Amino acid sequence: MTVTLTPELEDLIQRKLDSGEYETPEQVLVNAVYHLDQDNEDFSGWSTAELQAAADEGWEQAERGETMSGEEARLRLAERRAARQRA
């Protein structure tokens, strides 16, 4: 398979390599595809109406000041994903 990347994506991959987080472009892409698949699993089975309702609820919570940091949100999502995988 051959994939053509935009210059912006090539720059993003290079930044990941420069950070030392990854050793090869392939590692960056494998990780990206893996996370895309996991993200899709997080929302599979949800209807558009359910997604909209969840987004509306989140917006209302934010307006009331009931927010959390991005890191806390990522940790909660990771915990939910791990629980689903154990089940």
Mean pLDDT score across all residues of the chain: 88
Confidence of residue 38 (pLDDT cuts 50, 70, 90): confident
Q: Which of 20, 36, 38 shows the shortest CA–CA distance to 78?
A: 38
* Range in 5-9, 18-22, 29-33, 76-80 with the lowest mean pLDDT: 76-80
**DSSP letter (8 states) at residue 23:** S
Give the C-alpha separation, 2 to 23, whole Å: 20
Question: 14 or 43: whose pLDDT is higher?
Answer: 14
Q: List Cβ<8 Å contacts ≥24 apart for 61-65.
A: none
pLDDT at 22: 95
